Amino acid sequence: MKKFYLAPLNAYQYISRLLPASCRYYPTCSEYAKWQFELNRVDKALAQTTLRILRCNQLFDGGIDYPIIKYTPPKLLCLVTEFPKIKYWLVPKDEDKYYVIKDYNAY
């Protein structure tokens, strides 16, 4: 189901690279939406993305606005033979909410 929402975002990002940048936030609204759909439920990601796009206008200052997700870490850590590549870093905000920051060095 998430791929259904990620496909248009990837197409938009491909086309928008040809146009001048116009988003007032970092990460851009399309990147924010992509991160939300990868890490949240579809309904919550759609709501958060819609609110973000509504804020992306001249009435708001813009700036840095990382996605915030609710995450409960697993109680037991399993041992792995290979360390997986890290795509996102989770920085604690509140008790069970985290900021999502992408690791650009992993690619």
Give the pLDDT score at 60.
84
The pLDDT value recorded for residue 106 is 54
The domain total for the chain is 1
Model-level pTM? 0.79
Expressed as residue numbers, the domain containing 42 is 2-106
Tell me the one-letter amino acid at 30.
Answer: S
Pair 86, 96: CB distance under 8 Å: no
When mean pLDDT is compared across 30-34, 78-82, 93-97, 98-102, the lowest value belongs to 78-82
Q: How far is the C-alpha of 8 from the C-alpha of 99, rounded, in Å?
A: 24
Please state, in angstroms and rounded to a whole number, the distance separating the CA atoms of residues 84 and 78: 12
88-92/97-102 β-pairing: antiparallel
pLDDT tens by residue, 44-95? 999 999 999 898 888 888 888 889 888 877 676 666 667 777 888 889 998 8
